Amino acid sequence: MQILHPFAGSVQQYDEQLENPNRYRPGHCPQCQTKHPLTAHGFYTRTLIDTAFDGVIRVRRYLCTACQRTVSLLPEFILPYLRSSLTVIALFLVARLLRGQTIAAAARTAPPLMPYQRGQFWIRRFRTQAATLCVALAALTQPIPAPDFVHRALAMLESTGWIAAHRFLFAGVRCHLLGWPRGLAPDGRRAAFSSRGAPA
Ligand SMILES: [Zn+2]
């Protein structure tokens, strides 16, 4: 299961604090609710593209000795199953969908350069998810008058802050800002039959 890392800060600061497994060790298991602190269980690596970073980061994993399941602590600047950081995706979506820039121009506001298809993929997923976001984010901010769900969701994300919104959506209501990939259960847990999804 993936939960959000309590750490808030830059990619570099995230990496620096990773060495100490005690600092953010979960005090209980989110899956079986055992009250024992979890055991450090190494890392997995994943790719990350941020405005000033393109490489591999480590994600710390803990093991619950009661239910034998692992918990990964995802930093707040990434969305599960997506390679680009939340900042890059937000810059692109705002430029394209709120400011009406072309995909190529929007991609330039969200460096580094990326394939055209990646932007289209984010737009498609955001459009599908927009109505759900409007409902969920109403707990955080006033619904904003807008011509459609896409514009309203973007305005609500801009007023809340994308990372604060993601933290609320993911930690609070297990909602993925761009929608969970197909093959996962509605709360983002891996369905028993699905294969491991690579970041897109
Ligand atoms: Zn457990």
In the reported structure, the alpha carbon of residue 30 is separated from the centroid of ligand 1 by a whole-number distance in angstroms of 7
* Residue 193 CB burial class (10 angstroms; 0-12, 13-18, ≥19): exposed
pLDDT of 139: 93
For the cut 60, the answer to whether the pLDDT of residue 22 exceeds it is: yes
Paired tokens of 185: 């259960």
In the reported structure, the alpha carbon of residue 97 is separated from the centroid of ligand 1 by a whole-number distance in angstroms of 42
- Read off the pLDDT of residues 78-137 as tens digits, 9 standing for 90 and up: 999 999 999 999 999 999 999 999 999 999 998 888 899 999 999 999 999 999 999 999
pLDDT of 128: 96
Q: Which residues, other chains included, contact 65 with Cβ-Cβ below 8 Å and sequence gap of 6+?
A: 36, 38, 39
pLDDT of 143: 83
pLDDT band at 198 (very low <50, low <70, confident <90, very high): very low
Are residues 25 and 1 in contact, defined by beta-carbon separation less than 8 angstroms? no
Measured CA distances, 15 to 9, 58, 85, 167, 186 (Å):
10, 8, 15, 19, 30
Q: How far apart are CA 36 and CA 11, in angstroms?
A: 29
In the reported structure, the alpha carbon of residue 159 is separated from the centroid of ligand 1 by a whole-number distance in angstroms of 36
In the reported structure, the alpha carbon of residue 124 is separated from the centroid of ligand 1 by a whole-number distance in angstroms of 36
In the reported structure, the alpha carbon of residue 180 is separated from the centroid of ligand 1 by a whole-number distance in angstroms of 23
pLDDT of 149: 97
pTM for this predicted structure: 0.89
In the reported structure, the alpha carbon of residue 25 is separated from the centroid of ligand 1 by a whole-number distance in angstroms of 14
> Mean pLDDT over all residues of the chain?
90
- Read off the pLDDT of residues 43-95 as tens digits, 9 standing for 90 and up: 999 999 999 999 999 999 999 999 999 999 999 999 999 999 999 999 999 99
Ion ligand 1: residues, CB within 5 A, are: 29, 31-32, 34, 64, 66-67
In the reported structure, the alpha carbon of residue 26 is separated from the centroid of ligand 1 by a whole-number distance in angstroms of 11
pLDDT of 193: 44
